[in-house]
Each structure stands twice: as structure tokens, then as C-alpha cells.
Amino acid sequence: MIKLSWPEVSARRLARQGLDSPAGGTPADMVSAMCGAHAQVMSAAELSIGSRLDGVTRTGVREALWDERSLVKTHGPRGTVHVLAARDLPMWVGAMSRLPVQRNPFPEDVRLTPAQADEVVEAIRAVLDGDALTIEELGDAVVGATGSWAGDLVMPAFQTMWPRWRQAMAIAAHRGAFVFGPARGRKVTYTRPPDGFQPVDGRTELVRRYLTAYGPATPGQFAQWLGAPKTWAARLFESADLEEVLFEGEPAWVVAGDTGVPGDPPRGVRLLPYFDAYVVAGRPRELLYPGAAAARALAGGQAGNFPVLLVDGTVAGVWHQRRSGRKIRVTVEPLRTLTSARLRELDEQVARVGEILEGEPELTIGPVTVGAHA
């Protein structure tokens, strides 16, 4: 059985998503290789994508998303908002719509019944036929198509109450009822998927894509990344054409025959934004976040809530950027002393952040006082 070490696997993951050196290709190519870019913080998604590509800025990402429509914004793994390659949407919807129904966490008097959730999903699909609606407009249309029960303000959210129907948003996205549309002023809109969109059963292909980007991995790690039951993921691994290897002495899986690793260990300094795919999907956590990094850069064991300083493929600090006009103030808090060569690389990374975000960066090395992102 092939044995792989953490440095080998880290170098492999960095190389496969343009983090060893910026890649050529398009934003859609890179997002496909990443298995999606987390987009709860849109500027972070732009930075995640742009930092992996040669010469791409936030304008290029926005053009791919809203003009070319080679990217789509929707609910992806774990029900969280992601940017996906439009060409991959049939695979994603085909896979996510086949996830086992999870237990509804809301109290009985708040939750949607399965039948009500189905009704809301079909209402969203119907009312978005050709239109782009704000959340308020979509809510009015859904309540009009279903009933007053859908509009009951029963969901606590951000110091206010949301209507009952919004419990079904992630389900509706996973079933292909909507994607995000272009903003209308400061308001988010929702619209139907691209013309000609037809879901396919993409479960096995999604396993292959995930393992290509983040393998070796276990069914349990895939389940955590996707937001799926472990038993479901284990059956999916059994049905795919995979190969077992030993990763740091533990059994893990890769796509059959895909055991190659770069000849050199991981090298370089990188600044990864909130919820970057490399850290969210990257496991084991204790190898990716060694020593003090686990206490400083994880939030309750969860990765992505802090932007991180990556040194040679492992987390070695946190950072934060604050924008004011064109000025971007970047504060980096290393967890170990950086050599002069590393500091020069850090300067280059800060300059690249400014280029991607189209601003004028200024670096400060010192404590980051901003807490974890929710």
C-alpha cells in the first residue's frame, strides 16, 4: 500500500489549486478545481479565486459571475453560500438534491413539515421563471403561492424574525430552484438557474472531484465537508473507483491511480481569506493547524473563521484587512518569527491582495484584534 506523508499531501493540494504558484486559466476553471469557493463574504471569495490565478482581480471574478455567467452563486456544501462553476451546477444539484433529509433543528411549532418544504421549493421555482427578485419580493410571491403559514415570523435571525418559508432556502437551491442574481443596489436578488440547466446524478463525480483536490481523505471527512451523514458518504465511497493509501499511517482514499505527489515539499508564504477552501476542506486539522495555530486560528475547532497566514502549507498566523476607500490596511499576526526571506514573500502577498482587491495595501505586523467571523 502506498504511504503518503503530510508534506507530500500538502504540496499536492497546494499545487492542484494554484497555491504553490498562480495558475493560468479562468475563474471557472479554478473554482471547479477548488470544488467551489465559499462566498458568505463575497470579497473573501474574490480573494480566494484571484489569489490562485495569474493576473485576475475582483473585476475578473465579478465579470465571470454576473456578465459571462461562467460562475454561479448559490448554496453549496453544508448549505452555505458558495460560488460554483456554472458548468458544474448540474453535478452539484444532482448530488446535493440526493442527500438524505436531515433532522429539522427548529421547534415543532416553527419548522416546516416535509410537505410544506416541498411546496415552498416549487413555489420558488415557479415565481422565479424569468424574474430576479429581492428577498422581500420573493417572500411575498411565495406566501401568495402557498399560504399565510409560510409568512409567519417565527425564525430568530440577526436580532429580528424571519418568515417560516426561509427554512427551505438551502433545500430549494440544492434542488435547483434558484441561484443568486445580480445585486439591485444593496439588495441581493434571486433568479432561476441558467437556461438549459438539467441536473444529473453527480454523487460519484463529486467524490472524485473532492478527492482530486483534497485527498487522501476518509468518508467521514468528505461527509463533514459536504454536510452529509457519514454512513451515506461511506456507501458512496464504496461505489466509486477509489484506491486506499496510508496517509501518515492512517487509511485514507484517493481516486484510483491518482497517487502522485510533487517532488519538492511545500514552500512559500500565502495569505488566505475567510473560509478559504484549502483550510475548510483540509484535514487532518492537527497537521494543518499545528501547535499554537489550533488555539489561535480555529474557532471551536472550525476552520475558516479567521483569515490565515500560511507558511509552507501549514497555518502559521492570522491576518485581517480593513478597507477605507482605496486604502487597504493589512495586519498580519505571525505565530512564529519570520525570516527576512519570509518577510519579503509576505510583502509580495500583501501587494497581491491589493492588486486583487484593486486598492492600495499597507502592511502592519502585529496583533490582530478582530474576533472570529460568525
Asked if the model's pLDDT at residue 374 lies above 80, the reply is no
pLDDT band at 159 (very low <50, low <70, confident <90, very high): confident
Residues 6 or more apart whose CB falls under 8 angstroms from that of 318 comprise 296, 297, 306, 307, 308, 309, 332, 333, 368
pLDDT of residue 352: 97
Confidence of residue 25 (pLDDT cuts 50, 70, 90): very high
Q: Is the pLDDT at 162 greater than 90, yes or no? A: yes
Report how far residue 189's alpha carbon sits from residue 130's, in angstroms, rounded to the nearest whole number.
13
What is the pTM for the complete model shown? 0.95
pLDDT value, residue 56 = 96
| 163 backbone dihedrals φ, ψ, rounded to 5° | -70, 155
**Looking at residue 105, what is its pLDDT?**
85
Could you tell me what percent of the chain has a pLDDT over 90?
93
Provide mean pLDDT across the span 10-39.
95
Question: 81-85 and 153-157 as β-strands: parallel, antiparallel, unpaired?
Answer: unpaired
Q: How many residues does the chain have?
A: 374
Rounded Cα gap, residues 346 and 358, in angstroms: 18
CB atoms within 10 A of CB 308: 29
Q: Please report, rounded to a whole number, the percentage of residues in the chain having pLDDT higher than 70.
A: 100
pLDDT at 341 over 90: yes
Only one residue has cell 440547466, namely 197
332 pLDDT higher than 90: yes
Q: How much is the average pLDDT of 220-241?
A: 96
Alpha-carbon dihedral of residues 325, 330, 331, 335, nearest 10 degrees? 160
Beta carbons of 220 and 233 less than 8 angstroms apart: yes
Position 87 scores a pLDDT of: 97
pLDDT grade for 158, boundaries at 50, 70 and 90: confident
pLDDT at residue 195 in the model: 84
Paired with 242 in beta bridges are: 255
Residue 104 is predicted with a pLDDT of 82
Residue extents of the structural domains in the chain: 3-191, 269-365
Structure confidence at residue 234 (pLDDT): 97
Mean pLDDT of 28-52: 97
Mean pLDDT rounded to a whole number for the chain? 96
The CATH class, in words, for 269-365 is alpha beta
Task: Give the pLDDT confidence score for residue 252 in this predicted structure.
Answer: 98
Cell numbers for 19: 497555491
Q: Are 276 and 48 in contact (CB under 8 A)?
A: yes
